[in-house]
Structure 1
Amino acid sequence: MIQKIKIDWRNCYGIKELNQEFKFTPGKQIHLIYAPNGSMKTSFAKTMRYLSGQSKEKPCDKLHDKDKSSFILKVDGLDVSKENIFVVNGDDDIDCSKSFVNFLASSELKNRYDSIYQQLSEKKELLISKLKSASLSSDCEKEIFGTFKQNDADTIFSILERLNSEVKSGLPKFEFKYNDVFDTKENVKKFIESNKDNLNIYIDNYNRLLGNSKLFRTVAGHTFGTYHVTQLQQYVSDGSFFGVNHKIVLQDDTELSSETELQELINSEQQRLLKDENLKKAFDKITKAIDKNVELRGFKSVLNNHPEWIPEIINYEVFRKKVWLGYLSDNEIKPLFDAYIQVYNENKEALQQVLEEASSQQERWEQIIALYNARFHVPIKVSIANQKDIILKQEAAKLQFSYVETSSTETTVEKDVLEKILSRGEKRAFIILQFLFEMEARKTMDHDTILVMDDIADSFDYQNKYAIVEYIKDIAADNSNKFYMLVLTHNYDFYRTLSSRLSLFQPNLWMAERLANGKVIINQGQYKGNIYTNAFIEHDNDDKIFISMIPFVRNLIEYTKGENDDYKTLTECLHKKANTRTITIEQLINIMTDFTQGKGMKRPKSADKIYDLIMQTADSIITEANPNQVLIENKVCLSIAIRHLAENYMYDKMIAKGKSEEDLAVIGSQTGKWTGLFKKACPKDAHYDIIERVNMMTPELIHINSFMFEPLIDMSIYHLIQLYKDCKEQLK
């Protein structure tokens, strides 16, 4: 059980400094961090990706490369292994190839399997290494697998077991560079197919000569050729056959009583075959055809050295099998093959038992696929094409995708085609599938996982957003206690939804803030649930909160009572109107007290003017050393003050240009409409760009409703501070 994660970072991408501690207790193993754009989220995730091993890019400050970076991460005071960290981002593909294997079986079952698999692999690797030296094949294991595979259930292990009955001493070994005949591009195979006529002419002549030979024979469809003679030589090569006075009697009654006599006869007959003019002509046609393709040089060399192999090579795939059986039967290789077979036989029963148990656990695959298909709204269905083979082959699962065009029409598509069809949000939902597999795999592992989620639901529609929220809730409720989550988001709606669904409260709720010097601090999270109730009511003694209540209550009146006198009074607090500078704090308290859920106002009534309080409060905010970037009251107060300065300036300028009060009397969106009138009345005004900035930046921050909190929270306080200063200095 992890109790504490301590972070101490310097100069990690955009993070100049971050010191933070996250504490975990049973049932509270998730921390949710709201990080406004540009504050720290991406830099945090990239640093964690490096610590997890998912990225090789070492954290640094790319703008100030001379500043030394450090990225200390301690878990309960100890260093943490990269295997204990996992970062998921909705835009990044996840390498879950290992997960597809691990996820299949329980940890105990996987350990039993790994023990057997390791023994088999050690013997197999020794065998494959020796085969590679002998054959010079670029990939012996792949070649053997492809040569002897009979069905989709085959593995290199089952194939080697099956070959045991065929591998025996005395089989001839065809010695040549394997890929000169069995090349990966299959140029030799294509040559054989397109030159069968010339090859068959050669073979016909060859067989004719065999018919006249006392050693080589072809009778009634049975052939005893060079391949069979080589086998015969292998069988008598140790001297035992002739050593006990056995003899070989040929069909013409010729007797061979020694290996020497046999070899002399073989050489004599081979020379007679190769000197035949008709055979030579047929061979020349073959070599001339080969010369047209430079990629067949190695093959030509093989034929020049062994033209007698042509009758074997024309049966290309059969010859391939003979070649491998010859290598496996070699005196130096067969002992290694026998050692592998022994280990396999000793563990075969236990291995079969493991696989049967693993098969019974495969329903977990089906469950996660079903969960994804049921929860996520994506026009694809997913299934697993090679479910039975995954654990033995140690390969990733092959996912099969069907694009759902209508409720009754599905089209099977490849992954790369699918990615071109899906929207960005749908692609992110597809990446979530890989994430689900990774999480299920980690449930079977022995170690804990620090799980960092970087805007995992960004670009999702609401249905998929709630689906991932529910899955995060599932992880948080998992009884294994293996996951310790740090969820980062700049999406305020996701922040509120997740905190509500998981019942997150301080100290597991955070809001990040980036200071002017680049240091990142993470404050206790706010604005969960009903913001007006939790953050405003009974807190109106604070000048910022009292001012911020004006637009909120104004909206409440608009929605419940319409644009009555109270609504108009509050509107006059936000815009330049005839009574703006005369409205008192007492007037506002009398209006607002009806919207405090019976709790009343804490602020004493006074005859002080609200306009003066607004401007004084804005002045105080811009003098703060490190104004809080998250607090919405800072931004609302500044926005209201900025709006007043801009409207005062436009009013004075337009009146000076001859506009009347009647001309400036507009209904709704006063700042926007005045901006249009101002542009026409004062087209050459030097400060029109400031007016445009005011019009662009402040509307959503003043007209508050349930959809507008994200602009409030996400807007940089420093942008508003600079705009306020520009208005004060230049709009005079």
Structure 2
Amino acid sequence: MPTLSINLTNCYGIRQLKGSFDLGKHEGRGGAFSIYAANGVMKSSLARTFADHSKGEESKDLIFPSRETVRDIQWDNSELDPKTVFVIKPYVKIYESETVSTLIANPSLQQEYAISVKSLLAKRKTLTGELKQLSGITSRTETPDIVLAADLGATEEDFSEKIEALQQGDHTVAHLKDVKYAEIFNPKTLAVLKQRDFQAQLEEYVELYNKLVEESPILCRTFNHQGATAVCKGLKDAGFYTAGHFVTLKVGDSSKMISSSEELEDIFQQEREKILSDTSLKRRFDAVDKALGNADTKKLRALIESNKELLADLNDLEALKKKFWFAYFQECEEELNEFLQSSHDTKEVLTRLIASAKEEETKWTKVIQIFNRRFDVPFNISIQNQADVILKGEKPAKSFSFEDSESADGVDEKTLLSVLSRGERRALYILNLLFEVETRKEANQETLFIVDDIADSFDYRNKYAIVEYLRELSKRDGFYLIFLTHNFDFHRTLASRLGLSYDNRLVATRGANEIDLQSEKYQNDVFVSWRGKMGVNERVFIASVPFVRNLATYSGHKSVARSLTEVLHIKANSASKTYADLVDDFSIILQKALPEIKHDRSLRVLERIQIVAEEIATEAKDHIELEEKIILAIAIRLMAEKFMLRRLNDPEWEEPKVNQTRILSDKFADKFTSEQAVISTLDQVNLMTPENIHLNSFMFEPILDMSSRHLYRLHADIKQLLDGLGEVGQLD
């Protein structure tokens, strides 16, 4: 059976804590423990220590960081695997499971998507490699395909379409095929090209160049040197002349028959040299050349010197970018076509997969259904990007629809959190936790859940919804739970609903140097437990007085209620009350349920309360039982009332029917305004004792939460006040 063992020293205020938890699922009972710890004992510290372990972080003592810390957490005699620990905090405002997308993903759809995308990326990588060689772009971040997309104004969705549109254009680019994109489009070169003076000089050059081309008997603006070069190359590569064909070239008003590529190239070259040797054009070229005379543009200057037609392209850099890519596409036509074909194929696959993904009934949806069925909240939740989550593993984008009695409207999570109540915000937190838990279910991942007061601030409906869900988890193979709470009512509810055994219901108490974990003594109705013991256990007999008085009040036995009140307050008849009187009162209320009382019935009640309370205070145990706390509280209040009655010494005092201690303390404060220290002590009596005495079998959490040390100290303080009157702590 799985056993968790912990040995902690100096972990966030825990001086020493050792414990062993048998988490086996015995006789159909879930593998769970519930630990009740009053505020400040160890609950949050233990949860934080486990959280450190789950994240592989060191634990420490924040107040005394120099103290040596020990964190030894074993699972079946081996160190507990951090990945199996999941700490559920009371509340985290913004919490999202890191694994929630696995609840939405469809493995088969995702695999098909991945294969298709992988093939496309491979083709793109090959194309990018070719473009890198041609363009000279070597940046790791601005790769050629990224630069190309930016130049074409393309997104990932229309990247291939923009390339195809460029291919269908009409560009003269033969003069660019050996020029590197990066030689022109780099920061230093562009800084010069974009200077106003350079642009003016370049504009003059291009204007004159175009004029000379228009005046040529062979060329024109739409058929310049670049076009002529392309024609020559195209006819030659196509074997036009070897097939016996001729070209008729119009030269001015005449025409000329051309029968070889060499002859045609020679004619065009002569015309090119004629235009470029024009005196005015050369002067303008020299002005441009001079502007490129610095070291940063040395390479561009050399390019233009050998390729003067390039100058005409520099006055429209955006168009030049597209011409470059058009030229490179001609050089890597095979790689480009393979990429475009793969892109078309992938889009067809994605269209089909996205349609399937949008229709997918995911486990994520089932979690939403679990939440909506169990919890009462004024909103519905859906996912906006289900297809991307399923196929790409993206983070889910949640959408909330807030509903009232008339209509519903969508809101984002931040707005939703601002209008929800505290309990409703915690319910939303629970929803996010469900994603994590259900993910672990799907993965069959063995998990130890450390659940830290998860139901705090919930209304009863949602609280019990959580309890039922936790009960189901506790019965699941591979899931083990340790609940930490400072709410005794929730502790009892968990223990009852989960069917926890005696050994699995623990109470944590703080000693001077260590935390002690003990089985909860009163696992059911406290008074039922006491009823069988009050005949032989004097402390239980005395502590039962408040319970029996409550029963007398509920059942309409006013005389019994008044009689029992006389041993809980200083009344005219209090000093004369004996155990025999208590037995008579108990007999009327409990009747046959009253066991045989074996205590000496002649003993005076107030005297025995004083003696027994003194014994408890002298023992000064770190952990005292419920009945011992009640006796201390009764003794403290009786001594405080006696002290105030003696000091007030009011001959007109009339015993009130209710709130006697409070009435006395108010009178004392009004009369002895300068005795602030005494008034403060009496205020402590009013704060600490009523909840400890006016209790019933359904609600005794305030006493359990109260530190025994506080009661010891208050008992000593009140006794000292009586000693100052010469009463030596006597009650009667």
Scaled by the length of structure 1, the TM-score of the pair is 0.74
| Structure-1 separation of matches of 2:339 and 2:383 | 36
Match of 1:676 among 666, 687, 691: 666
How much does 1:86 deviate? 0.9
- Would you say 1:511 and 2:507 are equivalent positions? yes
Cα deviation 1:473-515 (Å, max 9, x = unaligned): 232344xx23211111112222222222222232222211111
SS at match of 2:567: helix
How much does 1:604 deviate? 0.6
Match of 1:428 among 426, 429, 434: 426
Residue 450 of structure 2: aligned partner = 452
Residue 564 of structure 2: aligned partner = 570
Alignment check: 8 A CA contact 2:120 2:342 kept: no
Match of 1:313 among 309, 313, 318: 318
Residue 681 of structure 2: aligned partner = 690
Residue 31 of structure 1: aligned partner = 33
From the superposition, tell whether residues 312 and 145 of structure 1 become closer, same or farther in structure 2 (CA, over 3 Å): closer
How much does 1:252 deviate? 7.1
| Structure-2 separation of matches of 1:139 and 1:412 | 41
Match of 1:716 among 688, 691, 707: 707
- Would you say 1:71 and 2:71 are equivalent positions? yes
Cα deviation 1:547-579 (Å, max 9, x = unaligned): 2211111111111114x2211121111111122
SS at match of 1:435: helix
Match of 2:583 among 581, 589, 609: 589
Q: How does 1:280-291 map to 2 (within 5 A)?
A: none
How much does 1:358 deviate? 7.5
How much does 1:677 deviate? 1.2
| Structure-2 separation of matches of 1:147 and 1:531 | 80
- Would you say 1:617 and 2:632 are equivalent positions? no
How much does 1:545 deviate? 2.0
From the superposition, tell whether residues 716 and 269 of structure 1 become closer, same or farther in structure 2 (CA, over 3 Å): farther
Q: Which amino acid aligns with 2:30?
A: K
Alignment check: 8 A CA contact 1:506 1:524 kept: yes
SS at match of 1:134: coil
Residue 289 of structure 1: aligned partner = none
Q: How does 1:153-168 map to 2 (within 5 A)?
A: none
Residue 54 of structure 2: aligned partner = 52
How much does 1:708 deviate? 3.8
How much does 1:703 deviate? 0.3
Q: How does 1:132-531 map to 2 (within 5 A)?
A: 134-137=138-141, 174-175=181-182, 209=210, 212=213, 308=313, 311=316, 313=318, 362-404=361-403, 406-478=404-476, 481-517=477-513, 519-531=514-526
| Structure-2 separation of matches of 1:725 and 1:468 | 44
How much does 1:371 deviate? 2.7
Alignment check: 8 A CA contact 1:135 1:175 kept: no
Q: Which amino acid aligns with 2:640?
A: A
Q: Which amino acid aligns with 1:641?
A: A
Match of 2:594 among 586, 589, 600: 600
Instruction: Report the identity percentage.
Output: 28
Of stretches 38-47 and 126-135 in structure 1, the one that deviates more from structure 2 is 126-135
| Structure-2 separation of matches of 1:52 and 1:264 | 81
SS at match of 1:640: helix
- Would you say 1:646 and 2:653 are equivalent positions? no
How much does 1:527 deviate? 3.7
SS at match of 1:604: coil
From the superposition, tell whether residues 374 and 257 of structure 1 become closer, same or farther in structure 2 (CA, over 3 Å): farther
Alignment check: 8 A CA contact 1:401 1:415 kept: yes
Count the aligned residue pairs. 660
Alignment check: 8 A CA contact 2:35 2:485 kept: yes
- Would you say 1:43 and 2:34 are equivalent positions? no
How much does 1:60 deviate? 0.7
Alignment check: 8 A CA contact 1:701 1:712 kept: yes
Cα deviation 1:185-218 (Å, max 9, x = unaligned): xxxxxx9xxxxxx99x989x88994994799987
SS at match of 2:674: coil
| Structure-2 separation of matches of 1:699 and 1:340 | 83
| Structure-2 separation of matches of 1:619 and 1:411 | 65
How much does 1:696 deviate? 1.2
Larger Rg: 2
Alignment check: 8 A CA contact 1:248 1:257 kept: no
Alignment check: 8 A CA contact 1:589 1:601 kept: no
How much does 1:24 deviate? 1.7
- Would you say 1:699 and 2:695 are equivalent positions? no
SS at match of 1:486: strand
Alignment check: 8 A CA contact 2:579 2:605 kept: yes
Alignment check: 8 A CA contact 1:381 1:403 kept: yes
Alignment check: 8 A CA contact 2:531 2:594 kept: no
Scaled by the length of structure 2, the TM-score of the pair is 0.74
Cα deviation 1:247-275 (Å, max 9, x = unaligned): 999997999769x9999999999999999
How much does 1:137 deviate? 3.2
| Structure-1 separation of matches of 2:327 and 2:589 | 93
Q: Which runs of 5+ in 2 are unaligned?
A: 168-173, 189-193, 252-257, 292-309, 724-732
How much does 1:21 deviate? 1.2
How much does 1:104 deviate? 2.3
Of stretches 535-544 and 205-214 in structure 1, the one that deviates more from structure 2 is 205-214
Q: Which amino acid aligns with 2:379?
A: I
From the superposition, tell whether residues 688 and 394 of structure 1 become closer, same or farther in structure 2 (CA, over 3 Å): same
From the superposition, tell whether residues 534 and 730 of structure 1 become closer, same or farther in structure 2 (CA, over 3 Å): same
Q: Which amino acid aligns with 1:648?
A: K
- Would you say 1:731 and 2:722 are equivalent positions? yes
From the superposition, tell whether residues 206 and 372 of structure 1 become closer, same or farther in structure 2 (CA, over 3 Å): farther
How much does 1:324 deviate? 9.3
Q: Which amino acid aligns with 2:435?
A: F
Q: How does 1:73-92 map to 2 (within 5 A)?
A: 73-92=73-92
